[in-house]
Every structure is written in structure tokens, then in C-alpha cells.
């Protein structure tokens, strides 16, 4: 190989080495300020509008006003339709005064068959008249007992609307008064109806027998606890795991028109029992993709 060929070969080798080194050089990452990821626009305006309407009707018993619909549509379009953004929306809806009015109405209709609340005042007045008549002296203790139960139910509305009472407080009062006793006459009917309405199941034979005995004033064991009065029966029911499970079932039936899965039931029942926050359980369901229609 002559001198000229060696020089050409050396030149080619140097060029190849330069290309290899240049190709292995680490690339620099350039960050552009203000270049945030865009909001996900894959959710159509129609789906957002349907979700807002569906939520208002389900939670408040009414459609959103035009200004409400416009505002929340824009919020979702601007900030996205994530679960977190839906939770912010549900918090807003639950804070509207109509929420507690509607929830009270749902329970009053189901438990007391939409009894006219004016009858509370009428019966309280009748009891007061009887207490001023010595002819009924032998029954005054019973009359006072019934009057106090109705007063407690009547006076519950304001603290409930103010947010200082829980839904379990409402349930206790709605099953512990003269009108509920008349709707579900007899201890057997009382026990069966409470189980069906709040635990969403029939009592077992043992639970039925123990429940009836307890309501009738006899000592008995129910759901692992001992009691001997109707008040004890109600305390046991409304503090039981079965009660929280029944609430989860009722919410799924109301909002999703189906039973919860085993995982949904166990997870939300435990959360409700430990945190005692009914609204949070509603929020968990109302922010699901299934409810949102996506």
C-alpha cells in the first residue's frame, strides 16, 4: 500500500470515529415555561351536561338552574372531568340547602309514608289538653311519653337542616314515635319493617324472636348485644355494621339502580362505619365513571 492510500485510509478512520463520538453525545432536555399539559377534551359537552343534570336531580330532587348548569359545565371544560374535579363538584352540590331538604323528604316519605307534619302539632296539642284533664290522670305518664316522642321528631327539622344532626339521628326518631307504631302495628311488624327498611334484609328467625322480645320489654341478645327495651333495640340496630351496609345498598339502588359488588359493599361499609360520614359515601358513588356515564 503506497503512502497516498494510507493517508486516505487514515482520513476515513478519523471521520468514522468522529461520527461515532458525536452520535453517543447525550441530548439536552429543553423545558419551555408555561407549557402545561392540556385539559383532556375527550369528554363531550353533552356528557358533562348530562352528568350535571343527573347529579342535581339525584341529590337535590331538581334540575340545575341555567346559571348553575352553565357554571359547572365551564368548570369541567376548563379544569377537566377527573374524579377529583367531580368530587369538588359533588361537595358544592351537597352544600346547597336543597340537599338536606330533599334527603329529609326521601326518608320521611319512605319511613313515615309522607305523614303530614302538621299532624305532629295537632297531636301534641291534643296530648296537652288531655294532660289538663284529671279524668285521664291514670294515663298521664303514657301521654307525656308520647308527647315527648312527637316533640323530639318535630324539633329535629331545624338542627337537621342546619347540618348539626346525622342521618342516623333522623332514622332513630322516625321509627320511635306514635305514627310509626301505627303504621307498623305490633312488635313483629315493627321488627320486620326496621330490618327491611334499614338493613335491607329480613331478620333470621333468631333475630326476629330476639327483636320482638326486646321490643316487648324482655331481655334478649340481638346482633351480639343485649337489650331489654324498644330503645335498646333501636340503639343496637342503628349502631350495627348491618345498618351501615344497608345504607350502602340503599345508595347504590337509588343512584346506580343496582346492588353493589362485594368489593364495593365491603369497602364503603367499612368506610362509613369508621368515619361516620354519609355524604362521603354518596360522593364515592356519585363520582364513579359508571354514574358519570363514561
Residues 45-87 have pLDDT tens digits of 999 999 999 999 999 999 999 999 999 999 999 999 999 999 9
* 18 compared with 106, residue with greater pLDDT: 106
Q: Where are the domains of the chain?
A: 45-96, 111-183, 243-292
Return the pLDDT at 74.
Answer: 97
Residue-wise pLDDT for 200-246, tens only, equals: 999 999 999 999 999 999 999 999 999 999 999 999 999 999 999 99
Q: Is the pLDDT of residue 13 over 60?
A: no
Mean pLDDT, to the nearest integer, of 256-266? 97
Alpha helices (runs of H) in the chain, residue ranges in sequence order = 3-23, 45-60, 66-79, 83-94, 98-112, 118-131, 140-154, 157-161, 167-174, 178-183, 187-194, 205-215, 230-237, 241-255, 262-275, 278-286, 289-292
Element (H, E) at 222: strand 220-222
Residue-wise pLDDT for 121-155, tens only, equals: 999 999 999 999 999 999 999 999 999 999 999 99
Return the pLDDT at 25.
Answer: 43
Q: Is the pLDDT of residue 181 over 80?
A: yes
Q: What is the mean pLDDT of the chain?
A: 89
Amino acid at each position: 500500500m503506497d503512502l497516498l492510500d494510507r493517508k486516505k485510509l487514515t482520513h476515513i478512520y478519523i471521520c468514522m470515529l468522529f461520527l461515532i463520538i458525536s452520535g453517543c453525545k447525550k441530548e439536552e432536555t429543553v423545558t419551555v415555561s408555561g407549557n402545561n399539559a392540556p385539559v383532556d377534551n375527550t369528554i363531550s359537552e353533552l356528557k358533562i351536561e348530562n352528568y350535571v343534570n343527573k347529579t342535581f336531580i339525584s341529590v337535590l330532587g331538581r334540575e340545575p338552574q341555567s346559571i348553575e348548569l352553565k357554571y359547572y359545565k365551564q368548570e369541567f371544560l376548563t379544569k377537566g372531568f377527573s374524579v377529583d374535579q367531580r368530587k369538588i363538584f359533588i361537595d358544592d352540590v351537597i352544600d346547597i340547602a336543597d340537599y338536606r331538604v330533599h334527603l329529609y323528604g326521601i326518608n320521611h316519605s319512605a319511613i313515615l309514608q309522607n305523614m303530614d307534619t302538621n299532624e305532629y302539632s295537632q297531636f301534641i296539642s291534643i296530648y296537652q289538653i288531655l294532660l289538663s284533664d284529671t279524668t285521664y290522670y291514670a294515663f298521664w305518664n303514657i301521654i307525656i311519653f308520647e308527647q315527648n316522642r312527637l316533640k323530639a321528631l318535630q324539633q329535629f327539622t331545624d338542627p337537621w337542616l342546619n347540618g348539626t344532626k346525622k342521618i342516623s339521628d333522623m332514622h332513630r326518631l322516625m321509627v320511635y314515635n306514635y305514627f310509626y307504631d301505627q303504621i307498623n302495628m305490633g312488635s313483629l311488624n315493627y321488627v320486620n319493617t326496621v330490618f327491611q327498611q334499614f338493613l335491607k334484609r329480613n331478620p333470621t328467625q333468631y333475630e326476629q324472636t330476639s327483636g320482638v322480645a326486646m321490643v316487648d320489654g324482655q331481655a334478649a341478645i340481638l346482633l351480639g348485644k343485649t337489650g331489654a327495651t324498644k330503645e335498646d333495640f333501636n340503639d343496637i340496630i342503628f349502631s350495627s355494621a348491618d345498618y351501615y351496609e344497608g345504607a350502602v345498598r340503599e345508595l347504590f339502588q337509588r343512584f346506580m339502580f343496582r346492588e353493589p359488588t362485594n368489593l364495593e359493599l365491603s369497602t364503603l361499609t367499612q368506610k362509613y362505619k369508621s368515619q361516620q360520614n354519609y355524604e362521603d359515601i354518596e360522593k364515592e358513588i356519585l363520582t364513579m365513571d359508571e354514574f358519570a356515564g363514561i
